[in-house]
């Protein structure tokens, strides 16, 4: 075949005819000569051009290759041996190793109408009648020297019509973007090269990333970057990679109109741990929108408060401030650890839970004043400080809503959020966090008990407990659960019912027609006996106890202790009734 898919000189009398026309005529000729034994239908693969849908015919042609055997060695050493360059997640090291240790020579020829022409110039018709040079004038000088033919002219040279593979241009990107090839010692290349981080998809780990590393060591004798963060690929619901050809990509502009830019970012990032693909669904953006609304409504709530300089700070507000200060610092340390390890989605999830659960669901509920009541100045200022810290750590993920909120709460002397300081972490008093979370477990238990017994929140609940609570804790219980705890069991009635939180039992005087549901007690006992069995199976496994981190082991021991206490309480309840 010729390049236009007509038959060449080896096609005999069919030379110059289109391939499809020639095929029919060849069959007719063979039939006429009596040379056809039989004709049958055979199913086989036919190559189709993805751009033009034309049927592709295989054709041998001369190609340009880059010898890779020696070029690849520094790239293998830097990533897999010296760890000069780190991959995140680490699992892609195996893919990188497999590709580079089994690398083949790189075919850099492309038969396209656009691109950078290969700088080879032919001066004759022989296979080796060519020279390589930066331009045709230099090529002429090299050709004259090579052939010793001083009669060669520019018109005798013809440049190679093939263009370079696109990746052959792209592998120079870290260098060429600062003109490091043409001007290898300029100020910009010296300042920016090598850079710190590259963020890209795992589908081009070989095509682009590995080749940039190879080029870096070949042309600059050093790595192009230190860390490679590989995101997951966003796919459609069928698991197909999104592409223009398939037309399965969502319209980003419409998504932003429907959900907001921050919501789209957050929804996708929450569901996309590093290196894991994500099946796109608009419900992910809705989750991001819900979070944006939560943050905005919290800001509106705080903005609506009336501030009083005469009001003293309440005990429950002191508890909430002390707890959230420690909780924020604990989570800030966790977030920074996620960033250090390039766990971007995990960092966002930690922020999401801190803001949604800790700030909005607990802290603001503790400190917010009663209906149409003012808030004291100290609590208000501290709340604003906490809120500003929270939107600061949210800012990398939600730049628009956080900057808008910041502009409405900042003082005149402060800079925009984008150039403000990141909060500084400090040592955490975890005992304060543990004590408060024991309190929130109790509040959740009381709320559950109220729901089961249909007891309105408006009704003050009095519980009997052997546990002692200080005045601050009692203030929080009264504020969030409208509940009082007393230790005087002489006032407990014989028909009182109880519920368990953690390993502690709390009693409540029933009304005359309330009775303890013993079938539920038996169910709870059976569940806790089974749960205890599963915990003890873990703790009796030497492999688990020898290898589990201390905090994991301590948690299992605590669960065993709490479950044993629950079992004793439940058995006594059945025994005494």
Query: Each residue of 196-244: pLDDT tens digit?
Result: 999 998 999 999 999 999 999 999 999 999 999 998 888 888 888 887 7
Residue 40 has pLDDT above 60, yes or no: yes
CB-CB contact of 99 with 210 (8 Å): yes
What is the SS3 assignment for 225? strand
The residue among 570 and 170 whose pLDDT is bigger is 170
Cα angle 229, 231, 235; round to 5: 165
Token pair for 217: 């060591």
Position 280 scores a pLDDT of 84
Q: Whole-prediction pTM value? A: 0.77
d(CA 467, CA 471): 13
Q: Which residues are registered as beta bridge partners of 249? A: none
Nearest residue to 485 via CA among 458, 464, 501, 471: 464
Helix (H) or strand (E) holding 235: strand 234-235
Write out pLDDT tens, residues 3-33. 889 999 999 999 999 999 999 999 999 999 9
Nearest residue to 248 via CA among 257, 256, 240, 260: 240
Position 512 scores a pLDDT of 47
Phi-psi region of 21 (alpha: psi -120 to 50; beta: other; left: phi over 0): alpha
CA distances from 442 to 259, 436, 465, 504 (A): 37, 10, 12, 9
CB-CB contact of 216 with 224 (8 Å): yes
How are the residues of the chain apportioned to helix, strand and coil, as percentages rounded to the nearest 5? 55, 10, 35
Lowest model confidence (mean pLDDT) among 75-84, 244-253, 298-307: 244-253
Mean pLDDT confidence for 161-177: 94
Write out pLDDT tens, residues 421-467. 999 999 999 999 999 999 999 999 999 888 888 888 888 888 988 88
Write out pLDDT tens, residues 322-356. 999 999 999 999 999 999 999 999 999 999 999 99
Token pair for 69: 């055997």
d(CA 496, CA 486): 14
Nearest residue to 299 via CA among 163, 205, 406, 198: 406
Q: Which residues are registered as beta bridge partners of 122? A: 130, 158
Token pair for 545: 């106890």
Position 549 scores a pLDDT of 86
DSSP-assigned letter for residue 178: T
Phi, psi of 127, deg, nearest 5: -65, -30
d(CA 511, CA 254): 58
- Between helix 377-394 and helix 315-340 the angle, nearest 10°, is 20
Lowest model confidence (mean pLDDT) among 16-30, 181-195, 471-485, 487-501: 487-501
Based on the number of CB atoms within 10 Å of its own CB, is 486 exposed (0-12), middle (13-18) or buried (19 or more)?
middle
d(CA 152, CA 114): 29
Return the CA Rg of the chain. Answer: 36
Instruction: Look over the chain and give the mean of its residue pLDDT values, rounded to a whole number.
Output: 90
d(CA 343, CA 560): 32
């Amino acid at each position: 075949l010729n390049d236009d898919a007509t038959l060449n000189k080896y096609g005999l009398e069919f030379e110059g005819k289109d391939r499809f026309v020639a095929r029919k005529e060849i069959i007719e000729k063979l039939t006429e000569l009596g040379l056809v034994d039989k004709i049958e239908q055979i199913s086989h693969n036919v190559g189709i051009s993805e751009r033009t849908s034309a049927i592709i015919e295989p054709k041998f042609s001369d190609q340009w290759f880059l010898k890779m055997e020696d070029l690849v060695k520094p790239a293998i050493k830097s990533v897999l041996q010296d760890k000069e360059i780190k991959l995140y997640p680490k699992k892609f090291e195996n893919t990188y190793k497999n590709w580079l240790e089994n690398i083949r020579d790189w075919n850099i020829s492309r038969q396209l109408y656009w691109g950078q022409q290969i700088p080879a110039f032919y001066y004759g018709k022989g296979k080796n009648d060519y020279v390589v040079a930066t331009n045709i004038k230099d090529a002429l000088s090299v050709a004259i020297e090579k052939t010793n033919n001083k009669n060669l002219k520019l018109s005798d040279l013809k440049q190679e019509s093939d263009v370079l593979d696109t990746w052959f241009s792209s592998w120079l990107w870290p260098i060429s973007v600062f003109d490091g090839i043409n001007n290898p010692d300029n100020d910009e290349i010296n300042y920016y090269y090598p850079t710190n981080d590259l963020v890209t998809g795992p589908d081009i780990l070989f095509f682009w990333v590995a080749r940039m590393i190879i080029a870096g060591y070949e042309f600059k004798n050093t790595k192009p970057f230190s860390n490679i963060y590989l995101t997951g690929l966003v796919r459609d619901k069928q698991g197909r990679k999104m592409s223009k050809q398939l037309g399965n990509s969502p319209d980003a502009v419409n998504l932003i109109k429907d959900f907001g830019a921050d919501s789209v970012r957050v929804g996708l990032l929450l569901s996309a741990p590093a290196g894991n693909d994500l099946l796109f669904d608009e419900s992910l953006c809705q989750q991001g929108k819900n979070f944006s609304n939560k943050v905005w409504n919290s800001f509106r709530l705080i903005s609506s408060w009336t501030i009083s300089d005469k009001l003293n700070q309440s005990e429950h507000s002191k508890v909430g401030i002390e707890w959230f200060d420690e909780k924020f610092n604990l989570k800030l340390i966790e977030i920074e650890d996620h960033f250090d390890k390039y766990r971007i989605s995990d960092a966002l999830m930690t922020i999401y839970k801190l803001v949604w659960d800790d700030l909005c669901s607990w802290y603001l509920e503790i400190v917010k004043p009663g209906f149409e009541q003012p808030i004291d100045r100290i609590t208000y200022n501290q709340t604003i400080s906490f809120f500003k810290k929270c939107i600061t750590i949210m800012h990398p993920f939600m730049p628009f809503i956080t900057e808008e909120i910041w502009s409405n709460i900042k003082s005149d002397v402060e800079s925009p959020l984008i150039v403000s300081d990141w909060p500084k972490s400090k040592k955490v008093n975890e005992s304060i966090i543990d004590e408060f979370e024991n309190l929130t477990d109790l509040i959740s238990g009381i709320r559950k008990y109220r729901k089961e017994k249909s007891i309105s929140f408006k009704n003050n609940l009095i519980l009997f407990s052997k546990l002692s609570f200080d005045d601050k804790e009692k203030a929080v219980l009264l504020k969030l659960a409208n509940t009082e705890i007393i230790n005087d069991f002489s006032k407990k009635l014989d028909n009182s019912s109880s519920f368990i939180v953690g390993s502690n039992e709390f009693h409540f005087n029933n009304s005359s027609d309330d009775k303890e549901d013993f079938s539920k007690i038996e169910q709870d006992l059976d569940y806790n006996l089974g749960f205890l069995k599963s915990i003890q199976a873990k703790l009796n496994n030497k492999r688990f106890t020898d290898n589990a981190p201390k905090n994991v082991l301590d948690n299992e021991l605590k669960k065993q202790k709490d479950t044993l206490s629950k079992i004793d309480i439940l058995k006594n309840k059945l025994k005494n009734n």
